[in-house]
Amino acid sequence: MIYLDNAATTPLEPAVLETFTKVYESFWANPHSLHKIGEKAEQLLEQARSQVTDLLGGSGYQAIFTSGATESNNLAIKGIAEIHKARGNHFITTNSEHPSVDQVLTYLESQGATVTRLPVGTDGTVTEEQVERALTEKTVLVSIMMVNNESGAINPIKEIAAMMKNHRALFHVDAVQGVGKIPFSLKESPVDLLSLSAHKFFGLKGSGVLILRERQRLAPQMIGGGQEFDLRSGTADVPRAASFAKALRLATENLPAKLAEVTRLNAILRESITTIDGVQINSPERGSPYILNCSVNGIRPETVLHGLVNEDIYISTVSACSSKKSELSPIILALTGNEERAKHSIRISLSHKTTELEIRRFLEIFRSTILTLR
């Protein structure tokens, strides 16, 4: 099997599975219980928590464990909206966010909020100037993704964070496709809130984190026993938390070398794909090398995908989170301004485990599949 759908999900790293099973074997008690085995579980939970913020290079930040990035995004946006309702009701985002940001903002709009959706440029990103121009006294939150899940476009998070330093509005970043793949540090990019998902970097599914500044007020969206500093109720899953920390540590280890290798593979892909008739690359040149989006003119993306599946190669059409919904990718439409391309886009997504052999084999089959289909 050649798996090139790593932006949808990744397999669990065996070393992470080891952590997971070990903790489930020995530290499965409820970390909120007062007995010794509960206390031990709690210690492990807190250790995992500080490891996560340490790995992101942030002092003055804390990590909240959630059931995934969708929950992290919901908590960040609704939690800030609720707490700052009296001050303002204006939000800034882009027109290319993941549904778990976009749909939350659409919901807030239905509740009376105003949302500015900045259009991305031809490289799929927004600029700090665009954000600056949109900021008003009523703006409470800016939510912009680090790396686009369909195009791989990288937004200037560091620059936006620096520009917003003196503004009252908070800055939330959905870093699901970024952290663990491209270098990031909270010290360099001091954002206010950051959403992460473990299963995009060889961790568990159902495992997310929301990073926020210590003492940042946030209205909890899941109410109950008051776990996670009263910000997120529900019994903490200690094995999951420990696995998150482990997966993040492994993902960020030797990151420059991994990134360089993926960049090299991406260049091979690009170079070869541009020579295939009727295939256009949608991903911007300077985006994340982990994602390459292209459009195959005149052939339905599902047809291409199924042709490849027959050869045991897995890529995707639009993102898994919207793949059953629409025929057209709004993200590729926003990026290219071309409906045909948006209707015919496919996504090839790599990981640091992808090999050159796999890429070469994929290219060969991809080329012949398209020829056959034509």
Instruction: Give long-range contacts, CB 8 A cutoff, 24+ apart: 154-159.
Output: 154/125, 154/178, 154/182, 154/286, 154/287, 154/288, 155/94, 155/125, 155/126, 156/125, 156/126, 156/127, 156/128, 157/184, 157/189, 157/191, 158/188, 158/189, 159/127, 159/128
In terms of CB distance, is 14 or 256 closer to another protein?
Answer: 14
> Which 53-72 positions form the footprint of another protein (CB under 8 A)?
66-71
| Smallest distance from another protein to CB 100, Å | 3
The dihedral built from the CA positions of residue 323, 329, 335 and 340, taken in this order, carries a sign that is: positive
User: Taking CB under 8 A as the rule, does residue 349 contact another protein?
Assistant: no
| Smallest distance from another protein to CB 323, Å | 5
192 neighbors 170 (Cβ within 8 angstroms): yes
User: Taking CB under 8 A as the rule, does residue 86 contact another protein?
Assistant: no
| Smallest distance from another protein to CB 252, Å | 21
Tokens of 367: 């080329």
> Which 235-294 positions form the footprint of another protein (CB under 8 A)?
235-240
Question: CA neighbours within 13 Å on the CB side: how many for 150?
Answer: 31
| Smallest distance from another protein to CB 264, Å | 25
Choose the binding region for another protein from 127-135, 136-144, 283-291, 322-330 (rule: CB under 8 A): 322-330
Burial class (CB in 10 A: 0-12, 13-18, 19+), 111: exposed
- Dist CA 37 CA 158 (whole Å): 42
In terms of CB distance, is 76 or 186 closer to another protein?
Answer: 76
Choose the binding region for another protein from 32-40, 126-134, 267-275, 277-285 (rule: CB under 8 A): 32-40
Total chain residues near another protein (CB under 8 A):
74
In terms of CB distance, is 93 or 316 closer to another protein?
Answer: 316
Q: Rg of the chain over CA atoms, in angstroms?
A: 21
Q: Is 57 helix (H, G, I), strand (E, B) or coil?
A: coil
Catalytic residue among 15, 255, 321, 328: 321
Q: Is 298 helix (H, G, I), strand (E, B) or coil?
A: coil
Residue choice 1, 112, 166, 275 for contact with another protein (CB under 8 A): 1
80 neighbors 54 (Cβ within 8 angstroms): no
User: Taking CB under 8 A as the rule, does residue 96 contact another protein?
Assistant: no
Choose the binding region for another protein from 84-92, 115-123, 144-152, 228-236 (rule: CB under 8 A): 228-236
Choose the binding region for another protein from 95-103, 250-258, 273-281, 332-340 (rule: CB under 8 A): 95-103
181 neighbors 288 (Cβ within 8 angstroms): yes
Task: Look up 321 and say whether it is catalytic.
Answer: yes
User: Taking CB under 8 A as the rule, does residue 365 contact another protein?
Assistant: no
What residues act catalytically?
A: 321
